[in-house]
Amino acid sequence: MRRSLAFSLAASALIAGCGSDATDVASSEPAADAARGTDTGPTGGGVTGSDARVDAADAAAPQGGTPAADALADAASTPASDAVVDATTAPPPDAGLSPTCRQTVRVGAYEIFAYEASRPDATQASAGADETDVCSRAGVLPWTLLTHAEATAACANAGFALCTNDQWQTACAGPDMDLYPYGGPHADAVCNDHIAGGNALEPTGARPGCRTANGIFDLSGNVWEITAESDRRGASWRLNASTYQQEYAGCFEHVFINDAYADDDVGFRCCRAVE
């Protein structure tokens, strides 16, 4: 089901405070959403930087969801300077190679976080405590334990919004309408999902094969992702396969949650329209 394409990226970066890095790719119209599931989980309970956008003529992922070797050039550190990012695939899961706080991927008329949302001070071992901004970068623990309203505010503080169901699904399935971000059928251990994951939260981008063709990581597994419609999508690391089947780790299932829902395996991702 996977297509094999090669792509190159060109970027123009304006780095001020915590900026963003976007990749331009073609997308398809979203498919009709799958029927809502039933939530069985527990209930409870900025600074916007300058943006840098990378345009890509093509995007690729090899067969089976295993990416090719990654390469990333450092962005210039001087504000208003131009930088070129040249990579054969999306940036590897290494926070040290990320030139900005927010890496995004363009999908049609919007851009979406390339990684699950995280706090600015998050590390590989800690989710951090700084809630003044929201980041999208590799190699850090995602931001969890927040409600729909708190996730909405975190995205808004950075000039983004929670991804809608259509935006999330389109980014996950891609133009080929894949069942999983890496293609399909379900593959054990490719993503940190509730079927064959590690039963623990992992840093963003820790599993290189768990990505879409255009370089969006962890849309399946690691943390459930809250959407604007008060759904959660993509399943998580928690091993509860008796409740959630493998389809929940895919692109077309979504589970309704109340707005006060918060848990340690629920995070979010931000989107925004591209002018």
Structural domain containing residue 230: 1-275
Give me the numbers of helices (H) and strands (E) for the chain, helices first please: 2, 12
Structure confidence at residue 240 (pLDDT): 72
Are 99 and 138 in contact by the 8 Å Cβ rule? The answer is no
Helix (H, G, I), strand (E, B) or coil at 217: strand
Chain-centre distance for alpha carbon 48: 19
Structure confidence at residue 85 (pLDDT): 29
In the sheet where 254-256 sits, what is the strand order? 36-37, 254-256, 231-233, 224-226, 266-268
Alpha-carbon distance values, 206 to 170, 198, 209, 224 (Å): 23, 11, 9, 16
Which residue in 109, 132, 118 sits closest to 225, CA to CA? 118
Residue 266 belongs to a domain with what CATH number?
3.90.1580
Reading the chain (275 residues) residue by residue, the pLDDT tens digits are: 333 323 233 333 333 334 444 544 333 333 333 333 334 333 333 323 333 333 333 333 333 333 333 332 333 232 222 222 222 334 444 333 344 799 999 999 999 999 999 999 999 999 999 999 999 999 999 999 999 999 999 999 999 999 999 999 999 999 999 999 999 999 999 999 998 888 999 999 999 999 999 999 999 999 999 999 999 999 999 987 567 789 999 999 999 999 999 999 999 999 999 97
Structural domains of the chain, count:
1
